[in-house]
Amino acid sequence: MVEVQVLVLDGRGHLLGHLAAIVAKQVLLGRKVVVVRCEGINISGNFYRNKLKYLRMNTNPSRGLYHFRAPSRILWRTERGMLLPHKTKRGQAALDRLKVFNGIPPPYDKKKRMVVPAALKVMRLKPTRKFVPQAAGDIGSWEQGKGLSHCLLRLLESRELCSCHFSMTNRKSNQLLLAKGSQKTGWRALPCE
């Protein structure tokens, strides 16, 4: 049996609709697709128009405005809308071949990430056109700069800083222990790198 190769796409700087259309076609053809860094996906158009698009219910307004807040889930929902047979077995299998992530999780951080030139914002939009810089926009609070994607980026940065600080303190404590041990015994330990 032939192993299907996984296509890892970097979502940063892509337009939501163009990227979703290309990914939907690849998934329907049988390729496994992984999209990472979904928090960097852009949406073309005015912020206010995009906000109204997500905050409406066409048929029965009393049923509410149910939508995902995470950028990866917004892309997933767009993909599901583009996969016309998503209620059939073929459509479900296609959705199973698609994975979307905020950030870059460990199995994919070592793999080569591709871009789709036909979906890049710099290739598709004129420089003067308006766009929403993050796919989630800020759907959670609808104040620019205070939404879920902004909080997610700050959380990832703080985790990275904490892990760097932790590894630095461990390294210093190991060096101190080596120095104390060499003073007691008279042996010099080689530095571990």
Domain-embedded: residue 162: no
pLDDT at residue 90, rounded to an integer: 93
Q: What is the mean pLDDT of the chain?
A: 81
Domain-embedded: residue 192: no
The enclosing domain of 66 has a CATH number of 3.90.1180.10
CA-CA-CA-CA torsion sign (123, 125, 126, 128): negative
Whether residue 107 contacts residue 101, with contact meaning beta carbons closer than 8 Å, is answered with no
Q: How many structural domains does the chain have?
A: 1
Structural domain including 11 reads 6-144
Domain-embedded: residue 149: no
Domain-embedded: residue 40: yes
Domain-embedded: residue 60: yes
Domain-embedded: residue 24: yes
Q: Tell which wins on pLDDT, 142 or 174.
A: 174
Domain-embedded: residue 184: no
pLDDT in tens, 83-135: 878 899 999 999 999 999 999 998 899 999 999 999 999 999 888 888 888 76
Domain-embedded: residue 178: no
